[in-house]
Amino acid sequence: MVPPHQIQAELAMVPNSNETEHGGRGGGLEEKQEEQSMAGFKNFLWHGGSVWDAWFSCASNQVAQVLLTLPYSFSQMGMVSGVVLQIFYGLVGSWTAYLISVLYIEYRSRKEKENVSFKNHVIQWFEVLDGLLGPYWKAVGLAFNCTFLLFGSVIQLIACASNIYYINDRLDKRTWTYIFGACCATTVFIPSFHNYRIWSFLGLGMTTYTAWYMTIAAVVHGQVDGVTHSGPTKLVLYFTGATNILYTFGGHAVTVEIMHAMWKPQKFKYIYLIATLYVFTLTIPSATAVYWAFGDQLLNHSNAFSLLPKNAWRDAAVILMLIHQFITFGFACTPLYFVWEKVIGMHDTKSICLRAVARLPVVIPIWFLAIIFPFFGPINSAVGALLVSFTVYIIPSMAHMLTYRKASARQNAAEKPPFFLPSWTAMYVVNAFVVVWVLVVGFGFGGWASVTNFVRQVDTFGLFAKCYQCKSPAPLATAAAPSAARHH
């Protein structure tokens, strides 16, 4: 589907290179038709901005490597809490994504009344906060968003190395991190979220296969001998698992960028909720089945692949997740690329190659951090408690309340309260509840638990660990001992 020229010129970050004059210089009708056909095919794969594109982007971005850590969270907090909190945080996350979309529409409508053009400029969340609430909010939004996306990208690199190790363990995980860091650096060539159409579609297909593979494989495998389901046993473990689930449904740090890539951003309002409902069909069955089968063994295996039987089906799931993590790395890094481009004055540059070179400094620190902290399970929880809690729950709720605190702002609002909550007072009550809950439970208890768990992991395995949670070399040493004795 190709948008009208006027809307595409307004919203597309990089102008369509196919919109050039062909007339007058030789070339018959057949050649022109072939060129138009190729342009249409390129647009179909490359220029996405429909409601479906946004839905695929939201659903694909929401479940990546965290799909493999949810059984680990279930072992920490128990089956019932795991399911209930998934549903709860999924709905809360959908609500705050809705708030972000409303604030984006409000900001854009105000700027367009001032005749501000966004041609070749992607609106980002910190700019929305700046336009609606001032520079202090801009600074807070920028700090939290960039740090969250930075560590989100780090997690994807760590996860790539962790997953490929289950197929090929001849190289240690740190070496695999070097390799995948180089591979993921190629995302610098993808200009904007317009250009993730085919990747988002494929990414969701990959996570769908992996989720249902995990579910079926766990059921077919059955429960291990002497399986126990003792969780929850400790508050530290319980709140670590809870913040990992909070992180699962807090993937809308890129909501504004996805909206800006739409031809009609006003239609985004309920897309995140619909995407979340689909994600429930992936996360709940897979986490439940794997925890049912392996129970407390998961407490020492943050990646579910490490317990599932090795066969062609599992290897296919690992490979698909590797490809999806490349896509998710691009999703998390692209807003960082935009910020960096704006800082160095390259954001409106039309040359893809020039912008790719300018983006490379963003990838290097991500690569380095992935080598320092090679354990993504604890990092998920720490990022969820300390960053996601503010970035995608507390800040949007507070920003909405402050933006519409005056009667005149409510009266002239670009978007009125939703049909299911038509009162401004009711919206304030819901927003206040989200702020208090996430501040106390997510940031408070969750921060304490996840940081405690994170420090334990560092003390146990050390920074720059060569192969975190790899197979122990102890059996080899034991086997070698008798042989050595015979030589003496």
Cβ-defined contacts of 451-455 (< 8 Å, 24+): 451/382, 451/385, 451/386, 452/236, 453/236, 453/237, 453/240, 453/378, 453/381, 453/382, 454/378, 454/379, 454/381, 454/382
Q: Which of 9-23, 40-54, 113-127, 266-280 has the highest mean pLDDT?
A: 266-280
pLDDT value at position 261?
Answer: 86
* Mean pLDDT (whole number) for 425-432: 95
Give yes or no for a cis peptide into 309 (omega within 30° of 0): no
Contacts 24+ apart (CB under 8 A), 138-143: 140/395, 141/395, 142/339
Residue 20: exposed, middle, or buried by beta-carbon count in 10 A (0-12, 13-18, 19+)? exposed
pLDDT at residue 394, as a whole number: 94
Gap between the Cα atoms of 266 and 102, Å rounded: 8
Determine the pLDDT at residue 6.
43
Mean pLDDT for 140-161 is: 86
Picking from 173, 291, 169, the residue whose alpha carbon sits closest to that of residue 230 is 291
- In the prediction, which pLDDT does 99 show? 95
Higher pLDDT, 470 or 479: 470
Q: Are 339 and 103 in contact (CB under 8 A)?
A: no
Helix and strand numbers (H, E) in the chain are: 20, 0
Give the model confidence (pLDDT) of 304-316 as tens digits: 888 998 899 999 9
Q: Report which of residues 375 and 170 the model is more confident about.
A: 170
Q: Is pLDDT above 50 for 378?
A: yes
**How many CB atoms sit inside 10 A of residue 321's CB?**
27
Residue type, 160: C
What would the pLDDT profile of 202-220 be if each residue is shown by its tens digit? 889 999 999 999 999 999 9
Q: How does residue 106 score in pLDDT terms, banded at 50, 70 and 90?
A: very high
Q: Is residue 488 exposed (0-12), middle (13-18) or buried (19+ Cβ within 10 Å)?
A: exposed
Which candidate, 52, 10, 48, 118, places its Cα nearest to that of 268?
A: 52
For residues 431 and 391, give the distance between their C-alpha atoms in angstroms, rounded to a whole number.
14
470 pLDDT tier (thresholds 50, 70, 90): low
Above 60 in pLDDT, residue 354? yes
Residue 78 has pLDDT above 80, yes or no: yes
Helix or strand or coil: residue 477?
helix
- The pLDDT assigned to 302 comes to 81
Is the previous residue joined to 232 through a cis bond, with omega within 30 degrees of 0? yes
Mean pLDDT: which of 9-18, 439-448, 479-488 is highest? 439-448
pLDDT at 161 > cutoff 90? no
Q: How far is CA 367 from the centre of its chain?
A: 17
User: How many alpha carbons lie under 13 Å from residue 117 in its C-beta half-sphere?
Assistant: 10
Within 8 A by CB and 6+ apart from 89, the residues are 245, 246, 248, 249, 250
Predicted confidence (pLDDT) at residue 401 exceeds the cutoff of 90:
yes
What pLDDT, on the 0 to 100 scale, is given for residue 68? 87
